[in-house]
Amino acid sequence: MGALVTLVTLIAVAATYLYDPPPLRVLRNAVFDQYQRWQPRPYEPAPVRVVDIDDESLRRLGQWPWPRTRVAELIEKLQAQGAAVIGFDVVFSEPDRTSPAAMVKLWNPPDDLQQRLLTIPDHDEVMAQALRRGGVVLGYVEGGDALVRGLPKRHFSVVNAGGSPMPYLRDAQSAVSSIAPLEAAAQGNGALLFFPDADGVVRRVPLMLRIGEQVMPSLVAELLRVGQGQRNYFVKVSAREEEGIQEVKIGRLIVPTTASGELWIHYTPRVDARYVPAWKVLAGQAAPGQLKDHIVIVGTSARGLMDQRSSALGTIIPGVEAHAQALEQILLGKYLQRPFWATAVEATIIIVGGCLLGLVALSTGALVSASAAALALAVMAAVAWFAFARYGLLLDPVTPGLAMLLTFLVGSVMHHLASERKQRWVREAFSRYVSPNRVDFLVNNPGQLELSGKRQQCSFVFTDLQGFTTLLEKMDPGDAVGLLNAYLDQMIAIVFQRGGTLDRIVGDAVVVMFSAPVEQPDHQQRAVACALEMHAFAAAYSAGLAAKGTPFGKTRIGVHSGEVIVGNFGGSTMFDYRALGDPVNTAARLESVNKHLGTTVCVSEATLSGCSGVAVRPVGRLVLKGKSKALMVFEPLAASGGNELTQDVAYEAAFRRMHEQHPDALESFEQLSRERPDDPLVALHLARLRAGAQGDVIVMDEK
């Protein structure tokens, strides 16, 4: 039965992989993105530059769109600097509204002024003249009514090798092009289109695409064609239907593509050397030789112009940079490829590897089967990473790995005894951490149990017994241990009654955490209530022993809350369930500072923020030893010598004056000291103020 269920699971996961639903594509793309983040393409100088209509250019030269005369001037400047080819990541889809004829219609000036304005050359014609000087590629975007606007102008021919690429190309439906006079004057016309994945990330740039029944090039392809003075594209289609388009030949360049004619982008981090601000070109301040013999793309990084794209590196880049990076890769011959055989290999790994791991899980012990699964996944991940790092191949180890792992898990859980062992392990292990009713809850709800490290908001209570070491020296150790065990037994009972987890006992000190392993939305309230009950018991216990002539000592308590890593830590031989993080250390420091402050319970502001109905008074903003940031700390009134007031009005008024550095602060605390000569907090602040301190920040020089 176990083998049958495992086999059915394997068939199901293999079929799901071959169907390739969107979640699997998202996961696969995330793996490929991570490859690039680990090893982005190193930037190498290539004859590609972006002339950037950046925010500074807009500030200096005015808002976009600029008059076509200025665009013509930019083209002429670039041509004069020897640019090999110029491309525009901009569409000039409407006549220039600043042309003289347009202004005449808008202003309706007197006849004589109209005549003079109409003698000024039309701005679009000025730009067309600049385009006719050669070496310029315009762009078009998707949209509009194809029947009304027509197809973009074709300056090229497409030669097919091996079959028609039409069934494989991405379909743009229709296009919005530059106006006809500009299209006719330019030497090329390329699509400014990306086809982002479902998460909005641009991972590929098309070289060829389909508009209606025509094969059309992208801006990248047209720049390469015009830059080499070529007329034709050669598109090679594989005889194998699943392989689709294999490559596009543009002049001397042969570019491997995806089946749909796209190029995978291997991103570099942003490099300023790739960009030249447009205003510098127009002002004649571009460095000599910076643009000579370069492919130049005119685009924008200005955020207000909204040409922003998500890259595989997790950054936002201007759309023009994606074109530029694709051109760099082609000129440098540095490609990323997902081979046509990748899917078949990955499916084979799922079937063969799943069968082997399922068999291992059904026939061997947990340690052997888990080791085999881990080894198989590690080898697969290492091979995939090596293929990317060395050869630029995009192979997915995660999706097949998850499929194999699922098959392995199904085979494992078919053992009834494994489930029994798990419940027994949970019961035995967590009986040492939480109260018995919590163990029953976790056994009946195993989904609530995290056996690995997990970030979680928790509260911590640290207690320590002052003077117990001295007690050990003065009385029989057996009697002292008996007193300590009775003390700890009741302290732990209070913890369990409040739903806390006993983290550890160190001598006479107790460490407690709340909201782990089971999350408790009210963990801060529980922690404070537990601390106050522990304080009340410890005070009564110590007083009872003192009445019998046995000085037991005073219990100090610190309470703090924050985000920590909670889970099992250790090795295969032994583990320890505990929390790690700065809030744990801070709670311990708060317990310790009681001896310097004269208090018995210190609670941080982080804990009190989640509590209600707790009467407290401020201690001050403590800068704990080894810390640089002050922490606001309070003392519960129930722990300040038995005061049960809901508010200590007189103390708070004096503290407020001290916090505000009011000149009367010292006088206020002197008055309080006369009224409360035994109040340690009053004595502390009075001594500080007399020593010249100001404010409520207390720097602790000791732990």
Tell me: the pLDDT tens digits for 454-463? 889 999 999 9
Q: What percent of the chain has pLDDT over 90?
A: 62
State the DSSP string of 406-462: HHHHHHHHT-HHHHHHHHHHHHHHHTTTS-HHHHHHHHH-GGG---S-EEEEEEEEE
Buried (b) or exposed (e) across 307-332, using 16+ Cβ within 10 A?
bebbbbbeeebbbbbbbbbbbbbbbe
Residue 108 · residue 326 · CB < 8 Å: no
Residue 503 · residue 512 · CB < 8 Å: yes
Number of H helices, E strands in the chain: 25, 26
Sign of the CA dihedral 281, 283, 284, 287?
A: negative
Comparing CA positions, the residue from 601, 520, 600 lying closest to residue 559 is: 601
259 band by pLDDT with thresholds 50, 70 and 90: very high
Query: Residue 133 corresponds to which tokens in the numbers above?
Result: 């000087």
Question: Quick check: 102 pLDDT over 80?
Answer: no
Q: Report CA-CA distances (Å) from 174 to 29, 166, 258.
A: 28, 15, 22
118 band by pLDDT with thresholds 50, 70 and 90: low
Comparing CA positions, the residue from 179, 206, 181 lying closest to residue 195 is: 206
Strand pairing report for 262-264 and 208-211: unpaired
437 band by pLDDT with thresholds 50, 70 and 90: very low
Give the H or E element holding residue 701.
none
- pLDDT given at position 147: 42
Query: Residue 183 corresponds to which tokens in the numbers above?
Result: 């299209």
How many CB atoms sit inside 10 A of residue 438's CB? Answer: 18
Return the DSSP state at 290. S
Whole-model pTM?
0.59
Q: What's the burial of 568, exposed, middle or buried (CB within 10 Å: 0-12/13-18/19+)? A: middle
Query: Residue 57 corresponds to which tokens in the numbers above?
Result: 């250019």
Average pLDDT over residues 98-105: 76
Contacts of 259 (CB under 8 A, 6+ apart): 168, 242, 243, 244, 245, 340
The amino acid sitting at 118 is L
Which range, of 258-272, 321-335, 440-454, averages the lowest pLDDT?
440-454
Query: Residue 639 corresponds to which tokens in the numbers above?
Result: 């722990």
Comparing CA positions, the residue from 350, 278, 246 lying closest to residue 19 is: 350
Residue 271 · residue 41 · CB < 8 Å: no
Distance CA 416, CA 414 (A): 6
Q: In DSSP terms, which residues pair with 157 in a beta bridge?
A: 232
- pLDDT given at position 91: 94
Question: Quick check: 444 pLDDT over 80?
Answer: no
Contacts of 347 (CB under 8 A, 6+ apart): 14, 17, 18, 400
Average pLDDT over residues 147-158: 77
How many CB atoms sit inside 10 A of residue 47's CB? Answer: 16
270: alpha, beta or left? (left if phi > 0; alpha if psi -120 to 50): beta
Comparing CA positions, the residue from 354, 363, 464 lying closest to residue 400 is: 354
Q: Report CA-CA distances (Å) from 539 to 209, 534, 612, 627.
A: 81, 8, 24, 31
Average pLDDT over residues 534-546: 92
Average pLDDT over residues 674-690: 92
Between helix 436-444 and helix 416-430 the angle, nearest 10°, is 150
Question: Quick check: 425 pLDDT over 80?
Answer: no
How many CB atoms sit inside 10 A of residue 567's CB? Answer: 20
Residue 340 · residue 238 · CB < 8 Å: yes
Question: Quick check: 453 pLDDT over 80?
Answer: no
**What are the pLDDT digits (tens) for 123-134?**
999 999 999 999
Average pLDDT over residues 592-604: 94
- pLDDT given at position 438: 56
- SS3 category, 499: coil
Distance CA 124, CA 68 (A): 6
Distance CA 175, CA 505 (A): 73
Residue 221 · residue 330 · CB < 8 Å: no
Comparing CA positions, the residue from 269, 267, 227, 284 lying closest to residue 250 is: 227
- SS3 category, 625: coil
Q: In DSSP terms, which residues pair with 136 in a beta bridge?
A: 86
Q: Kindly list the strands in the beta sheet with 245-250, ordered across the sheet, starting from the edge strand earlier in the chain.
A: 157-161, 232-237, 245-250, 253-256
- pLDDT given at position 30: 94
Distance CA 305, CA 283 (A): 22
CA triplet 299, 32, 52: central angle to 5 degrees? 10
Residue 49 · residue 275 · CB < 8 Å: yes
